[in-house]
Amino acid sequence: METKIFKPDQIDQAAAEIKKGNLVSFPTETVYGLGADATNVQAVEKVYQAKGRPSDNPLIVHVADISTVEKYAQPLNEKTKQLIKQFWPGPLTIILKLKPHVLSSKVTGGLKTAAFRNPDKEATLNLIRKAGVPLVGPSANTSGKPSPTLAKHVYHDLNGKIAGILDAGATDFGVESTVLDLSTNHPTILRPGAVTSQAIEKVIGPVVDEQKHVGKTEVPKAPGMKYTHYSPTASVQIVDNENQWKSVTEWAANQSGKVGILATDAILNDYNWPQNVETYSLGNDVKSASHALFAGLRNFDLHSDITDILVEGFTTEGIGEAYMNRLNKSAGQKHFE
Ligand code: TXA
Ligand code: MG
Q: Following DSSP, what letter does each residue of 97-140 receive, concatenated?
A: EBPTTSS-HHHHTT-SEEEEE--S-HHHHHHHHHHTS-EE--BS
What is the domain partition of the chain in residue ranges?
4-223, 235-331
Neighbours of ion ligand 2 (CB under 5 A): 139
Kindly identify the ligand whose nearest atom is closest to the C-alpha of 137: 1
CA of 209 to the centre of ligand 1 (A): 16
Predicted-complex ipTM score: 0.99
Rounded CA Rg of the chain: 20
**Which of 93, 227, 229 has most ligand 1 atoms within 8 Å of its beta carbon, as the pocket-test mutant?**
93
Kindly identify the ligand whose nearest atom is closest to the C-alpha of 93: 1
What pLDDT score does 106 carry?
94
Which residues define the annotated binding site for ATP? Answer: 53, 57, 113, 139, 147, 191, 230
CA of 337 to the centre of ligand 1 (A): 33
Report pLDDT digits (tens) over 72-108.
Answer: 999 999 999 999 999 999 999 999 999 999 999 999 9
What does each C-alpha distance from 85 to 115, 206, 326 come to in angstroms? 17, 18, 28
What pLDDT score does 227 carry?
60
What pLDDT score does 253 carry?
97
* CA 276 to the chain's CA centroid: 31
* Percent of the chain surpassing pLDDT 90: 88
Spans in the chain with pLDDT lower than 70: 214-220, 223-228
Pocket of ligand 1 (CB under 6 A): 28, 30-31, 33, 57-60, 93, 95, 108, 111, 113-115, 117, 119, 137-139, 176-177, 179, 190-191, 221-225
CA-closest residue to ligand 1 atom 22 = 222
Report the interhelical angle of 11-19 vs 122-131 (nearest 10°): 50
CA-closest residue to ligand 1 atom 32 = 222
CA-closest residue to ligand 1 atom 21 = 224
Query: What mean pLDDT is reported for the chain?
Result: 94
CATH topology of domain 4-223: DHBP synthase (3.90.870)
CA-closest residue to ligand 1 atom 19 = 224
Strands 306-312 vs 258-263: parallel, antiparallel or unpaired: parallel
What pLDDT score does 218 carry?
55
Report pLDDT digits (tens) over 14-47.
Answer: 999 999 999 999 999 999 999 999 999 999 999 9
Counting Cα atoms < 13 Å in the Cβ hemisphere of 115 gives 29
CATH topology of domain 235-331: Rossmann fold (3.40.50)
Contact 117, 132 (CB under 8 A): no
**Which of 30, 118, 179 has most ligand 1 atoms within 8 Å of its beta carbon, as the pocket-test mutant?**
179
Judged by DSSP in three states, 263 sits in strand
**Which of 25, 55, 60, 180 has most ligand 1 atoms within 8 Å of its beta carbon, as the pocket-test mutant?**
60
User: Which residues, in sequence order, are bridge partners of residue 238?
Assistant: 311, 335
Of 329, 298, 322, which Cα lies nearest the Cα of 141? 298
pTM of the model: 0.95
What pLDDT score does 216 carry?
47
